[in-house]
Structure 1
Amino acid sequence: METARLKQLGLEVRDEGKGLEATLVLAEPLDNPTGHWKVERVIFRVEGERLVPSGPAEVVGLRPITLGAVKEAREVEAEVVAAFNEHLFHVQRRSAELVALGLDARVAPESLVLSTQVSEQGLTLTLVADRQGHFQVASAVRDGQPLPLPQARTFELSEFRERGALVGYLAALFGEQGRAVAAQAAGEGLIGFSEVVRAFGEGALVPPRSGLELLVLLEVEGKPYRFAAARVAGRTFRGLLAGAQGKVWAERFELDDFPGVVPLVADLLKVPTGAVKLIGAPQEAG
């Protein structure tokens, strides 16, 4: 029944013992803009009511096609073309955003997968975008040693207007900001906000387009946590709470609605506010 239904859609079907595989011969081949060749056939894995693109490399990861939404081969092809063009749009858009952040945009010729590498103070991260344009950390190395990755979670690149904000967010995932605090304990550049207020006064303003990053170190029931925030635009920030096991929480928030670091952490970790201890920035000697 399932095989007959797929054949009615104009697909070539075969079963090699690992489930059904369906192939669509495209009436108008897809252009690979980096490899300068064409994709003439698309292979799908059949998963229940979905056709999941599985080959060639250019289409792996494109959004699945729901069988109930298509009635003939041309509709299947239209879905593939739309998803492929959407991916190319994301590659172009995200490549421009990476370049604006001072990062290299690398597109693999065969798979058309977009990636980049971020290196900062011995930490090297490889970021890879999925077909919908969302990034995640694909590999992490510190001083030549591979690091375990946080749970697979994607992030929106456009939320980071400056390279420093992106680096701060990524570093917090791997505990690098805690290491930076220890390294800077001798006064190598870490600044407490109390020092800023003391120097410039409470009337000082942050210009609308300038970047702003914040780091708060905490301890909750003997366990270390890091809260980092980076300004997205205006009064909108991107916040991150991370612990020894990686990211706990990450969301945008409006400055006017932010409850404060301690109440937020207490609510997220389901502990009393008294259990959340702030670890002050190191003070200058003398």
Structure 2
Amino acid sequence: MGEGEHTIIGKIPRERLNQIASRKLSALGIPVRLGADRETLEGELAFAGRVQHPVTGQTIARGRFVVTGHDHLRFLDAPLSALGEVNFYEHERATGLEVSVAQALGRHAAALQDLAARMRSLRLETALDPERLAVRALVKTATHAFEVLGGPESVRVSRVAPVGGRPFEVAPDFPALDLSDFASPTDLEIYLVGSVARMRPAAPAPALTPPPTSAPTLAATPAPRNALTLAALAQVFGDDAMLAPNAMVELVKEFAYGNTRYRFVASREMGTRFKGRVIGPNGDVWSDRFELASFPGTAKVVALALGAADPGAAPAPPPGPVAVASEVPSHLMPHPGEIWVMSVVVEEAGPDEVRYVGTDIDGRPYGAARVLKRSDFEAVFAQERGGWRLLIQIDQVQDGSVIYRQLDRQRQPMGAPRKMSSAILVANFVPEAAAY
């Protein structure tokens, strides 16, 4: 599987990927459900007896999993969790997937045996850890004991126990060991002892205390450690993720001014219209409604409300162009001559404008609503079976994009050919044969 088949998540909505995966797993007779986060598909795969623990030989009856992307699953419990991602889309029957899991465990066990032999050549005492499905070795020196764990991918130091000191877990960025670098156990011991300082996890940076000042200053306070921030949402869903048209949103940011804490709260009323409040110990200091486009910034509004000096924080530069993965899995790729369709639901049809929202492959509305002039809407969309559909015909597929032409109500090409990313096509359209 190419890398692009995984990076496609960055472009195709998570909901669409879940629908593709759910349909395939249902066809295999494997039930799935949404997890507690209401986004991750999870399930449990029952085995018919072909899967055995490669160390203990015991039969593994079932395995809990989560779906990654649209075509892979990842087991949650040992020993199956050691396998990483497993492709389920390539199988036509659940028995084929079970055989694939059993074979993967067999390959993993064989790789561990080879690794154990290489470790023993360095005169290390090794054992197979049945829980972590890894080769475990303990390297003892005069000052430290090092736990080394190895798998098919890498060999790493996992834990260090100083003599007379407190054991600690090794920092995850400490590099993996290349056993070929060490001609003898002594060479390995010298390297490990000399690297102890780099193995320690980085200490948290001390909190910075602002220098004393005669006049109070306005300072934003950091969000609590377990808070869900906009930065965390953008990191997961991307800066171009959209809110549902009428979804309730309440944003909170806290400030300190003159040893007093103030809270700024913005509550979404509709669209881009918000109601803002600055709340202090005795209640509201300021409140008003505003449009997002005209809002000068949280810190500036709070400073004006409190009579504080304008923090003068320079706005962050606009983000640079984001690289978009154009790769789409081969079985989802369009082909020249095919007709693809985007179905929409009309939410409001006035004499001048039409408000509509796209639907997913199961016909349920998703995404943000859009507005077109009524004449433009009726020129683009054709009414069929009580709904509205946009038909396009694929002319060419090249370099991660498609060349297409829009079809009119008589299914005749209209206008000049246009170009669209394949990933955007798959995210918003489906083949006409799958739209019924």
- TM-score band by shorter chain is 0.5 to 0.7
Instruction: Tell me the secondary structure at the aligned position of residue 86 of structure 1.
Output: helix
The residue that corresponds to 2:123 in the other structure is 102
Partner residue in 1 for 2:149: 128
Contact 2:146–2:160 (CA under 8 A) maintained in structure 1? yes
Asked if 1:13 is matched to 2:32, the reply is yes
Task: Supply the distance in 1 between the matched residues of 2:174 and 2:32 (Cα, whole angstroms).
Answer: 33
Give the superposition deviation at 1:121.
Answer: 2.2
Gap regions ≥5 residues in structure 1: 177-286
Structure 1: how far apart are the matches of 2:86 and 2:184?
A: 37
1:117 and 1:103 map into 2 onto residues whose CA distance is 7
Q: Structure 1 CA distance, aligned partners of 2:145 and 2:195?
A: 13
- State how far apart, in whole Å, the 2-side matches of 1:24 and 1:147 are: 36
Paired residue for 2:69? Answer: 48
Determine which structure has the larger helix proportion and give its number: 1
Partner amino acid for 1:84?
Answer: L
- Counterpart check, 1:25 vs 2:46: yes
The aligned runs of 1:173-188 (5 Å cut-off) are: 173-175=195-197
Distance, in Å, in 2 between the alignment partners of 1:102 and 1:59 is 29
Instruction: Indicate the residue corresponding to 1:76 in structure 2.
Output: 97
* Aligned residue in 2 for 1:271: none
The equivalent position to 1:155 in structure 2, one of 173, 177, 180, is: 177
RMSD of aligned alpha carbons = 2.6
Corresponding position of 1:213:
none
CA offsets, 1:72-104, max 9 Å, x none?
323322331232112101221122222222222
Alignment coverage as a number of residue pairs = 174
- AA aligned to 1:7 is S
Q: Structure 2: which amino acid aligns with 1:138? A: S
Q: Work out the CA distance in 2 between the residues paired with 1:35 and 1:65.
A: 22
| 2:139–2:145 Cα contact (<8 Å) kept | yes
Aligned equivalents of 1:111, 1:141: Cα separation in 2 = 20
Partner of 1:164: 186
- Structure with bigger gyration radius: 2
Percent identity of paired positions between Structure 1 and Structure 2: 22
Q: Which residue of 2 aligns with 1:139?
A: 159
- In structure 2, what is the equivalent of residue 220 of structure 1? none
Deviations 1:165-197 (A, max 9, x none): 222332332259xxxxxxxxxxxxxxxxxxxxx
The DSSP-based 3-state class of the residue aligned with 2:82 is: coil
Tell me the TM-score normalized by structure 2: 0.36
Deviation at 1:31, TM superposition (A): 2.4
CA contact (8 A) 1:134 1:157 kept: no
The alpha-carbon deviation at position 68 of structure 1 amounts to 4.3
Unpaired runs of 5+ residues, structure 2, are 1-18, 199-436
